[in-house]
Structure 1
Amino acid sequence: MLDVQFNSNNVNSNIENSSHEFFQIIKNFDKRNIKEVEPTTKSINKGIFDGDLSIISDELVILIFKKFNQGKNKKLIKKSVLYYLDNKKIILQEIYTYLLNNQINSNSIYLLGYFNYYGIGTDFDKKKAIELYKKASELENKLAQLNLTEIYLYATNVKSDENLAFKLSKKLAEKEYASGINNLGWCYENEIGIEINEPKAFELYQKAADLGNSNGISNLGWCYKYGIGTHTDALKAFELFQKATNLGNTYGMSNLGNCYYNGIGTNVNEKKAFELYLKAANSENDYAQHHVAKMYENGDVTKKDMKQAIYWYKKSAEQGFQPAQDKLDELSKEN
């Protein structure tokens, strides 16, 4: 298997090309009138014109798409959105109101879904968000397709549609979108909508990694760690997890923590492992939260602290990580 070295210049070029192509899709979209999701009041800030908010909406979609394609953490993407809006001095309820009143294309439909999913300018409403993602996806909005795919592949407490997840992943991968390629690899590795094909999964992770997608880099490390579609190589796995961590990927952080904890591709360093697990846990990584909880429970590296242990078990369980919920049930019975 050809080992392609990560090249940041190529990454930037690929991402910029994808973003440009996506912007053209937005610009060329037939702006047919689509029924509003629900009526509401007019814009709050009279100094902001609809045209301004339309441009801001397009720029937000490009921003979100670019970061998704890089494999950025969802929490960090939301922070980037909030920072962008704050920098533009946009009131959150104001742009949410605009989106409610201007469901004129797939872009605005998607953004309204995104705001509902992450509680921006409104309460969290994931059910409504998914409905809007589906609507925008049917209008061939690539970002909506990507978000919908990742919900079906990775989200908990959501009824999955594996066949649709595979279909959309394949469609996005054919467009050379790095996140779509990575998700398609996940489908092949985990038999989601298609038979297991580990060599194919490895090939797709490699391609996503070459495009600079941090999830692809981390998943490629996972393949080398466990010999999925390739030979086992602890040193290579460690290097890839380190690279993903440097890009801010929480899966990379968690896996790198595991390497330090167990001496995989490096010397055992439990203190370093705890630091990495804690950093990933604070960025909502459920596995890392569970491991931090165990370390607090056992007094492993850190001082034993059951209050902290229960806190992190709950955080992990809230995200649907079953071992954390099992542990909480066990602790509840003991008390």
Structure 2
Amino acid sequence: MEILQGLREMIIPGTPEEYVKIYTECWDDELDNRPTMKQIVDRLISLISGTNSSINADDQVINRDQYTPISSNQQLNPCTSDPLQGGLSKVIQNFHGMDTAEVVKTITTSDKSLNRIIEEILILISVRLDKGKEWKKEIESDPNAMFLLGYFYYYGVETNIEKKMAFELFFNASKQQHTLSQYYVGLCYLFGDGVIKDEKLAFKYIETIANNDCVAGQLELGHFYKKAIGVEKDIRMAYKWNLKAAHNGNLRAKCILGNFYLNGEGVKKNYESAFELFRQSAEGGYSSGISMLGHCYIKGVGTNVNKQKAFALYQKAANLGNKTAQFNLAIIYKNGDGIDKDIDKAIHWYIESAKQEHRKAQYNLAIIYENGDGIHKDIDRAIYWYKKSAEQGHQKAQYSLARMFRIEGDIDGAIHWYRKSAGQGYYKAQYNLAQIYESGDDIDRAIYWYKKSAEQGDRNAQYNLAVIYENGVRIKDLDKATYWSERVI
């Protein structure tokens, strides 16, 4: 870092005076005049408590991301017993929907002065590390300082990512009943970050802070019960913990709770309650709540159908970066549902959503590129987006990718993706896989997959199955031949 080499950046215009005072004191040429680590951390936490930053993210899915990230302007305290609020606490609250790069970007873009202070703290740390045991004793006596340093190591904020070091710092601070550190110890056990993965221990730590009224813990615990992470699946318990978080005013919890009522999970289905919870979440500025409220208006869930309101809500959530809203907005533009058709805008929003790994958007975008719908046909891009979607388990994308490989003569690639899709029950993939096996004289496998497809009503599969049984290449069975022939008629 240039700052470590003695170079000082200009103060960012508009930086709050309190922030300026902290990091300019850190620049003091006289080392003894600089604030101590504890003084900086205490003042930083005090300032963060008054921060009201906003994170724009989106729901996704797959992988370590266990929750739909928050996009909210609401001042949240993830753990009501902990002093941290604002910027850092929102990152913590949103951890499941953000990778390391996103967290660093969030800190940098949502509060540049906070990022500057972080740099200066790291400078102070690097200088005071030379003082050895005295400095170590100073930080170990302050759980806030241990947590903050662990946080930097965990995300690689102005330092290398050191998950093992982060875990040790979180763990030591957690022994002093530091709630946010307990939360991160749970996450480390959940993901195996810096420690051997142990879902039961993750559950134990998260349950502890949830019982201490930590909203982030309550959200996490609800997810653990829903997905059977470290505990037996229990939808009613999942509902219970999300309800607690919602009662604590958490916008994300209200949106999740709305989905429980929408789908009748852990509670009796109630569209009016779902609508009201989505409305509350949306009014707080949570992008997924806004998107789900749009869904209610376009489908008439708990309210009258109002496509204009739905469009406006999807537009608002899409502008906040919500990938589901972006996907739905693209569909509206493509179909001209309540508005004029606009393929260019449809493609724009499909791309925005697809870039955020929305697999349906990726699949639809691939179709557009393959068919040249309102855009120049581009098979390479079609394959690219089919593959992105297929890798996320989209069965039709897997089938389409297999079809593309087959056209190009890559039979091994085709078989691989046909199997993926067929294994998920897609009848077209089952039929095409059977065709390949039949052409390769693997009649047993051909019959197996033709039958799978035929049982779903595919007439081509029914016909081919009848022919195989009638001709008796391996197995002659006129009764079965007649049975499947009758299904074709």
Answering whether residue 101 of structure 2 is matched by residue 75 of structure 1, we say: no
Question: Counterpart of 1:95?
Answer: 166
Q: Is the 8 A contact 2:183 2:209 kept in 1?
A: yes
User: Would the alpha carbon gap of residues 108 and 325 (structure 1) be closer, same or farther in structure 2, given more than 3 Å must change?
Assistant: farther
SS of 2:74's equivalent in the other structure is helix
Question: Counterpart of 2:313?
Answer: 240
Larger radius of gyration: 2
The normalised TM-score by structure 1 is 0.70
Structure 1 residue 235: Cα displacement: 0.8
Answering whether residue 252 of structure 2 is matched by residue 229 of structure 1, we say: no
SS of 2:98's equivalent in the other structure is helix
User: Would the alpha carbon gap of residues 61 and 274 (structure 1) be closer, same or farther in structure 2, given more than 3 Å must change?
Assistant: same
Cα distance in 2, alignment partners of residues 170 and 112 from structure 1: 24
Give me the CA root mean square deviation: 3.9
Structure 1 residue 125: Cα displacement: 5.9
Identity %: 32
Cα distance in 1, alignment partners of residues 220 and 336 from structure 2: 36
Answering whether residue 91 of structure 2 is matched by residue 64 of structure 1, we say: yes
Moved more, 289-298 or 86-95: 86-95
Question: Counterpart of 1:30?
Answer: none
Letter in 2 for 1:201: A
Write out aligned runs for 1:164-203 (5 A): 164-203=237-276
Structure 1 residue 270: Cα displacement: 1.4
Q: Is the 8 A contact 1:178 1:211 kept in 2?
A: yes
Cα distance in 1, alignment partners of residues 91 and 196 from structure 2: 18
Write out aligned runs for 1:129-278 (5 A): 131=203, 133-134=206-207, 136-150=209-223, 161-278=234-351
Instruction: State the aligned residue count.
Output: 287
Q: Which of residues 295, 301, 304 in structure 1 aligns to 2:374?
A: 301
> Runs of 5+ in structure 1 lacking a partner?
1-7, 28-54
User: Would the alpha carbon gap of residues 83 and 207 (structure 1) be closer, same or farther in structure 2, given more than 3 Å must change?
Assistant: closer
Write out aligned runs for 1:42-53 (5 A): none
Per-residue CA deviations over 1:289-317 (Å, capped at 9, x if unaligned) read: 22223323333334444554344344334
SS of 1:92's equivalent in the other structure is coil
Cα distance in 2, alignment partners of residues 159 and 261 from structure 1: 43
User: Would the alpha carbon gap of residues 163 and 302 (structure 1) be closer, same or farther in structure 2, given more than 3 Å must change?
Assistant: farther
Letter in 1 for 2:306: D
Letter in 2 for 1:26: D
Letter in 1 for 2:74: I
Structure having greater relative contact order (Cα 8 Å, sep ≥ 6):
1
Cα distance in 1, alignment partners of residues 195 and 365 from structure 2: 30
User: Would the alpha carbon gap of residues 176 and 140 (structure 1) be closer, same or farther in structure 2, given more than 3 Å must change?
Assistant: closer
User: Would the alpha carbon gap of residues 83 and 176 (structure 1) be closer, same or farther in structure 2, given more than 3 Å must change?
Assistant: closer
Q: Is the 8 A contact 1:114 1:129 kept in 2?
A: no
Cα distance in 2, alignment partners of residues 63 and 308 from structure 1: 36
The normalised TM-score by structure 2 is 0.50
Letter in 2 for 1:15: Q
User: Would the alpha carbon gap of residues 128 and 102 (structure 1) be closer, same or farther in structure 2, given more than 3 Å must change?
Assistant: farther
> Runs of 5+ in structure 2 lacking a partner?
1-53, 55-70, 108-151, 401-416, 422-427, 437-489
Per-residue CA deviations over 1:144-203 (Å, capped at 9, x if unaligned) read: 222343576699xx9854222211121111111111111111100011111111111111
Structure 1 residue 62: Cα displacement: 0.8
Letter in 2 for 1:25: S
